[in-house]
Structure 1
Amino acid sequence: MFPKTRKTYNFAPIFMMLRNAILQILRFFYQPFSKVLPWQTFRYLACGGGNTMLDIFLYFVCYNFVLHQQMVHLVFFNMSAHIAALFMSMAVTFPTGFLLSKYVVFSDSNLRGRVQLFRYFVLVGICILLNYLLMKIFVDHLHFYPTVGKICTTALVVIFSYLTQKKFTFKVKQHT
């Protein structure tokens, strides 16, 4: 009924081609900053900033045009539109963030890919929790407009995320 051999796909050449193109673009824009920022920090700021801008854009579109700022009625509970939009935008930015971090920013990490993915998944889980809690505080308690609350939340979570990625998720293991 099912074929005995499964076709597998190797996406590494595609990722490497994209990586090289991204690095060429970043090298061009790095020149004015080369005296003040290390190359890795610039790559993190550029890739993380791009992914963050994508996240905020997707959040805005999902909140305003997909969900129309209305509650989402699920089987067992209702979810506010600003929280649902948070999860919707993360469905896209999780994989793009991991791939940019793995192949562009922290490519010198010698941890196995599945270890990096697991650690990144744990980090994103913590970041989701932080996003959720901070969004609840900013929007529900401090009454910020949801997009402004998302920007404030993102600023705090990005700092936490960078430090965690550098020191834990994509660290370079020292061989003794």
Structure 2
Amino acid sequence: MRLSDWIIRAIDWFYIRPVASLVPRQTFRYAVCGGVNFLLLDPFYYFLIYNYVVAHRYFDLGFVVLSPHIAAMILVFPITFFNGFWLNRNVAFRFSPLRTRTQLLRYALSVAGSVLLTYAGLKFFVEVCGVWPTPAKVLTTLVTTVYSFLAAKYYSFRHAER
């Protein structure tokens, strides 16, 4: 049995009422995969890289100096990017007929869209609407999450039923 099958079984074990009557299975799998990647794996990798790889050091690249927390963020991004892609491709949207290369390119474009949407949302809510930064981040995350799901379902991994 493949790792993705084990993960699907674990996720589907929690797909019970009342959630099952409110949320489609694919949406539930997407939410769990995204939550695990963003709320568990990303902070875990960040902690390891910040403390043991970057080791609290500044990095002078010649044209810019990276602070330790930014250097760690940059190093963690590709890890969580590919984790997210693998989980989406093999767990949430596993029956997409698109080729892997096409999915990866489209996923990269949707992630870039998420980054831009997050930036624009924070600028809008904080600077235009006068919302405090933390609630603005929550609102922006909600909008970006909906965008990410729709982009994954209808663009990156389209036609992935079940």
For residues 67 and 115 of structure 2, what CA distance do their matches in structure 1 show? 15
For residues 111 and 165 of structure 1, what CA distance do their matches in structure 2 show? 12
**TM-score scaled to structure 1, two decimals?**
0.67
Deviations 1:97-134 (A, max 9, x none): 11110010011221121110111122233344556x47
Letter in 2 for 1:49: G
Gaps of at least 5 residues in structure 1 are 1-15
After the TM superposition, which residues 67-78 of structure 1 pair with which residues of structure 2 at under 5 Å, given as runs? 67=54, 71-78=58-65
Q: 1:118 matched to which residue of 2?
A: 105
Does 2:20 correspond to 1:34?
yes
Letter in 1 for 2:21: K
Q: 1:52 matched to which residue of 2?
A: 38
For residue 118 of structure 1, give the secondary structure of its aligned residue in structure 2: helix
Match of 1:108 among 95, 116, 136: 95
Does 2:11 correspond to 1:18?
no
For residues 73 and 162 of structure 1, what CA distance do their matches in structure 2 show? 37
Q: Which of these two proteins has the greater Rg computed from alpha carbons?
A: 1
RMSD, aligned α-carbons: 3.4
Deviation at 1:67, TM superposition (A): 4.5
For residue 108 of structure 1, give the secondary structure of its aligned residue in structure 2: coil
For residues 4 and 73 of structure 2, what CA distance do their matches in structure 1 show? 27
**TM-score scaled to structure 2, two decimals?**
0.72
Q: 1:159 matched to which residue of 2?
A: 146
Deviation at 1:58, TM superposition (A): 2.8
Pick closer, same or farther for the CA change 1:83–1:68 going to 2, 3 Å.
same
Count the aligned residue pairs: 149
For residues 160 and 66 of structure 1, what CA distance do their matches in structure 2 show? 33
Identity %: 36
Match of 1:43 among 14, 21, 29: 29
For residues 126 and 73 of structure 1, what CA distance do their matches in structure 2 show? 29
Deviation at 1:66, TM superposition (A): 5.2
Letter in 2 for 1:73: D
